[in-house]
Amino acid sequence: MKTDSIFYELSLTFPESFFELIGIDKQEANNYKFTSREVKQLAFRLDGLFMPNDSNPAKPFYLVEVQFQPRDELYYRIFAELFLYLRQYRPTHPWRVVIIYPTRSIEREEAHQFGDILALERVERIYLDELESDSLGVGIVKLVVEPEETAVDMAKSLVEKSKVQLTDAVRQQNIIELLETIIVYKLPEKSREEITAMFSLGDLKQTRFYRDAFADGEGIGEQRGEQKAKEEAVTRMLKLGLSLEVIAESLDLSLSVVQQIANSANNN
């Protein structure tokens, strides 16, 4: 599963989830805008930034990194990107770094180089399998690492929770579609009939992903659904001002495909 894309979509759709992850009131999301930014020197790209909406110098900006594979060079890259970003943009807000791991076993700490930095309050490491919060936002994040045998039941529970906690019908539907997308990517070997049986709730059957992915047959439908999801992701990222190269890398698409989608969006 392309976890970078999933977390990018989650941060755009339900930014409250990030602040719930770090133990801050979810209403703080109203004061931030989620974006991504390229550091031109050496072509570094910051995967996720929560930038304050106002100029209050007391509010930090958050550099967010989602890491689901062991990477010995991770902290070398993160802190190189951070300090190059500081040099290039000189933001007025103090920095914070948040790294999200599925489990501690994935982390490669490199304590001899970064032990002092990692001990700072400015750096927070989150291990999804250790979270105990029952909030909607944290639940959606944890669904990504939930075992297959319990993931569907968890997704259904989160759907019900979204109905209670979200009054905006559009946001509620976006969350439901995101939950279904996570499940479909987590269980790629399941047939159309099996997915249909799992998502027996009317809410899930009405989602755009369901209609695109399964209405026209298992093989063709899946391709159409995935293509539609990627087109929408490209359009959203273009609106954030991201370069075509950054979008292509983030969504695992060729540059020519991203260019075609961008041209089509401009002509509509």
For residue range 232-249, list pLDDT tens digits in order: 777 766 765 566 776 776
Please give the pLDDT value at position 21. Answer: 93
Q: Residue 27 burial (CB < 10 Å; 0-12/13-18/19+)?
A: exposed
Work out the angle at residue 162's Cα, subtended by the Cα atoms of residues 150 and 64, and round it to the nearest 5 degrees: 80
Sheet with 123-127: strands ordered across: 32-39, 44-52, 61-66, 95-101, 123-127
Pull the structure tokens for residue 200. 């027996």
Sign of CA dihedral 51, 54, 56, 59: negative
Return d(Cα 256, Cα 71) in angstroms, integer. 29
Residue 82 burial (C-beta neighbours within 10 Å; 0-12, 13-18, 19+): buried
- Left if phi > 0, otherwise alpha if psi is -120 to 50, otherwise beta: which for 101? beta
Residue written as tokens 């602040």?
19
DSSP annotation of 60? P
**pLDDT confidence of residue 31:** 95
Rg (the chain; Cα; Å): 19
Q: Which residues of the chain have pLDDT under 70?
A: 1-3, 38-47, 190-229, 236-237, 239-243, 246, 249-252, 267-268
Q: For 166-252, where are the E strands, in sequence order? A: none
Are the beta carbons of 33 and 95 closer than 8 angstroms? no
Which tokens belong to 213?
A: 């992915």
pLDDT at 178: 84
Tokens for 210, please give them: 């369901």
pLDDT for 236:
67
pTM exceeds 0.85 for this model: no
State which fold the 222-268 domain adopts.
Arc Repressor Mutant, subunit A (1.10.10)
Q: What is the three-class DSSP state of 54? A: coil
Class for the domain spanning 1-145: alpha beta
User: For 168, which DSSP code?
Assistant: -
Residue 211 has what pLDDT? 53
Domain ranges for the chain: 1-145, 146-215, 222-268
